[in-house]
A and B are shown apart, each in its own frame.
Chain A
Amino acid sequence: MKRGTFGAWFWVVLGGLYFLLPLLGTLDFSLRMRRGVLSFDAYEKAFADPQFGQTFLFSNQMALLTIIVSLLLVVPTAYWVHLRVPRLRSVVEFITLLPFVIPAIVLVFGMIKIYSRPLAFGSLELVRPLTNSVWGTNLLLVAGYVVLSLPYMYRAVDTGLRAIDVRTLTEAAQSLGAGWPTILWKIIFPNLRTALLSGALLTFAIVVGELTLANFLDRPAFGPYLWLLGQHRAYQPAALSIISFGLTWVAMGVIQFLSRGRIKPGQVAGAH
């Protein structure tokens, strides 16, 4: 089988080059801001820009909010489907797959279409347009991110729930006098922590550099900032791209470590 192994090595080396060359090239480029020597000037300049700090902080806050909302929405739902309404499993699964069908650009188009006008009953205005206020637009942004992360989060939680005996745990807790909030918070959440952490990290990786939603909702996020920076700077964007790649690497590396190499298909792939 020597021949087979040679072919295998050939493809792996080719794939490795495809992976590494753009990264090494970008890294090299980001270190060449000062002529003739390698330096971290581009990184220093990029970090020194107050807008970097602001937008990066904003994106991290949005990512955190997205993860919290997504967990609060998905965990009780998936739990309830497992325990009480398995009949509706296919309906819920179908809904969690819909974000694959509706690209981010179409989603934000539709959201702007309906939420840029007031929610009115006849001539009586009930709610002012969400896009008119900062909190309203942030709400739309987080809701959109929750939608984008839904397939991954639901998959992760569902896989986690399959691995534990939901019914026995619930009945044991109930017989000890626990109510629903206690069961969810003290039994289900802790038992799912590996799955939840994977889902949360993947959500983080998707949200932090996201461009489409943040751009069209006009929020001061990291993705639009990076794009804008790329319009009139050469080296700083390369440096920030390396940082961004590093963050994705850390997030995926931890997931990989948690799942010990057993990544389920469909659990990975972000917003392009």
Chain B
Amino acid sequence: MTSLPDPSLRRPRRISLAWVGLLPFFLFALAFLFAPSSSLLFGSFLDSEGALTFKNILGLSQPSIRNAYWLSIRISAVTAVVGGLFGFLLAYAVTLGRLPRWVRTSLITFSGVASNFAGVPLAFAFIAVLGRTGVITQFLEDAIGLEIYDHGFNLYSFAGLSLTYLYFQFPLMVLIMAPALDGLKREWREASENLGATSQQYWRYIALPILLPSILGTMILLFGNAFGAYATAFALTGGSLNLVTIQIGAQMRGDVLHNPGLGYALAFGMVIVMAISIGLYTWLQRLSERWLR
């Protein structure tokens, strides 16, 4: 690279050609990413005759749709916070907890598998374990006489779905937080100890502020991860929980909202929520990179 003439000197004719190399990629993105999503955007501003309308957007405030968004948001927030905290503690345990090396390796491998183990098989695994005739349900009944279904537990409910989502949520937190915790420099700790700081002070004033953007950002990523999930929820509850994704699925099967435009608005509202959360994640991740390289 150094021995060659500056490539910018012989570039003028190539500039127009260079981006042509990216044309297949851009065309693909146009056909299968931009066109489908923008057609939903346009569709949400058109009525059945094709005239401009804001009715669909306003229609999003009707109770059934508001409830769907609210349920999706709650379940995503709960699994993001619980999964985030649990994942953080696990990542902390395997990075700074002075555990043998193999614990870390196996936890990271397991996290890689579990964060990809979702959808139908995951739902079936939880049904086999915590369903009405599940292994743990039976075990608790036989061993200590506890019938969890008589005590308000139900796998096909908010709590059950949250428990299932956590299976792919906290591993993702582990995968992102373990490298971030590795990024905490030993010198920072030593410097603070030399200045007389206690362990709590070190965490309160140095480590946590450095890690905070990363922790928050990853929790927001987990939020988006759960918000967009369809397969797991559908396979587990068969559509009995009124999540946004489930409602979109029902709308696709047979116009349950009796208004295609409203369906498009529903889907597009989802993209907006996802865009906000991914945007926040990217921004916070960039903030944290200032310290954690």
Nearest to B166 among chain A residues (CB) is A18
Interface residues of B in 99-122 (CB under 8 A from A): 99, 103, 105, 107-122
Contact of B112 among A167, A209, A240, A255 (CB under 8 A): A255
Spot the interface stretch: B20-28, B58-66, B143-151, B202-210. Answer: B20-28
**Pairwise interchain contact B278-A263, C-beta atoms closer than 8 A:** no
**Pairwise interchain contact B274-A22, C-beta atoms closer than 8 A:** no
CB distance from A88 to the nearest CB of B (A): 6
Size range of the chain B interface in the assembly? 35 or more
Grouping DSSP codes into helix (H, G, I), strand (E, B) and loop, the B interface class, with mixed when no group exceeds half, is helix
With an 8 A cutoff between CB atoms, is A28 at the interface? yes
**Pairwise interchain contact B125-A22, C-beta atoms closer than 8 A:** yes
Nearest to A255 among chain B residues (CB) is B112
Which residues of A lie under 8 Å from residue B92 when comparing CB positions? 8, 11
With an 8 A cutoff between CB atoms, is B245 at the interface? yes
Which residues of A lie under 8 Å from residue B172 when comparing CB positions? 268-269
With an 8 A cutoff between CB atoms, is B168 at the interface? yes
Number of interface residues of A (CB under 8 A): 93
**Pairwise interchain contact A171-B36, C-beta atoms closer than 8 A:** no
Contact of B248 among A106, A240, A266 (CB under 8 A): A106
Contacts A22-B126, A106-B270 given; indicate if A77 touches B121 (C-beta within 8 A).
no
Per-residue CB contact flags for chain A residues 19-47 toward chain B (1 = under 8 Å, else 0) read 10111011011100000000000000000
Contacts from A to B (Cβ < 8 Å)? 1, 4-5, 7-9, 11-12, 14-16, 18-19, 21-23, 25-26, 28-30, 73-74, 76-77, 80-81, 84-85, 88, 92, 95, 97-114, 143-144, 146-147, 167-168, 171, 202, 205-206, 209-212, 216, 223, 226-227, 230, 234, 237-238, 240-241, 244-245, 248-249, 251-253, 255-256, 261, 263-266, 268-272
Contacts from B to A (Cβ < 8 Å)? 1, 4, 14, 18-19, 21-22, 24-26, 28-29, 31-33, 35-37, 39-40, 43, 86, 89-90, 92-94, 97-99, 103, 105, 107-129, 133-136, 165-168, 170, 172, 174-176, 179, 224-232, 234-235, 245, 248-249, 252, 263-264, 267-268, 270-271, 274-275, 278, 282
